[in-house]
Amino acid sequence: MDGELDRYAPPTDPWLVVVHLDRDLLVLDKPAGLLSVPGRDPAWQDSALTRAARDLGPMYAAHRLDLDTSGLLVLARRRKAEAALKAQFAARSVRKTYLAVVRGQPEDQGRIDLPLARLGGTPPRNVVDPVAGLPAQTRWQVLRRGSEDTLLALFPETGRSHQLRVHLAAVGFPIVGDRLYGGAPAARLMLHAWRLVLRHPWSGEELSLQAGDQDPLTQ
């Protein structure tokens, strides 16, 4: 693991922020700096998943967020629910909206269609690769402009690792605080999983979720 996780010290206050809880699933507002699931090393066992399991019983990860990304994280409380939720993410039927602060002034809206391939190394990274890369698409819309930075709503159409970070860096608008892909220095990665729309794994009803009522990146 890279040097940042050698100094892994996740936030503990608040311990867990619950957005939704029922017999089948738990949705958390994960803080930046906390792993979604535990790492292999004993020093990296603290995670959203282990905290939830400690407080609420058995939990299974339906998807993951990067360590430095905050926002909505979906956990299943039963194996059947886990399978149903993972199937939705795999089928790209879960509608996701992220918030990101980028350096620069992109157009009001647009779409990035650049294939991504995984690189080796520690930590692993992704790179645009038109030959060996897998298809990846991201839409964006400007929400607010500042003198140097812009707040974007991001709509990933695929779910590749580091997709939003690599795509925005590739078109010249790296996310502020992104240490891997050339973002301007900041106290944290300015990327937040803000909204999710999915089907409840038991009832099949549409469930619309949001992490907070305000913009968490500019409060």
Active-site option among 6, 13, 22, 66:
66
Residue 66 designated active-site: yes
Tell whether domain 3-210 is in CATH 3.90.1150.200: no
Domain chopping of the chain, boundaries:
3-210
**Confidence band (pLDDT; 50, 70, 90) for 123?**
confident
> What is the pLDDT at residue 122?
72
> What is the pLDDT at residue 215?
62
Mention every residue, 6+ apart, whose C-beta is less than 8 A from residue 41. Answer: 1
Q: Residue 106: which H helix or E strand, with range? A: none
Residue 3 has pLDDT above 50, yes or no: no
**Confidence band (pLDDT; 50, 70, 90) for 2?**
very low
3-state secondary structure (DSSP) of residue 113: strand
Q: Residue 145: which H helix or E strand, with range? A: strand 137-145
Residue 212 has pLDDT above 80, yes or no: no
Distances (CA, A) of 44 to 16, 65, 66, 207: 17, 15, 14, 32
Q: Are the CB atoms for 28 and 19 separated by under 8 Å? A: yes
Q: Which amino acid, one-letter code, is at 61?
A: A
Q: Are the CB atoms for 25 and 74 separated by under 8 Å? A: yes
Nearest-angstrom CA–CA distance, 10 and 4:
11
Rounded mean pLDDT of the chain? Answer: 93
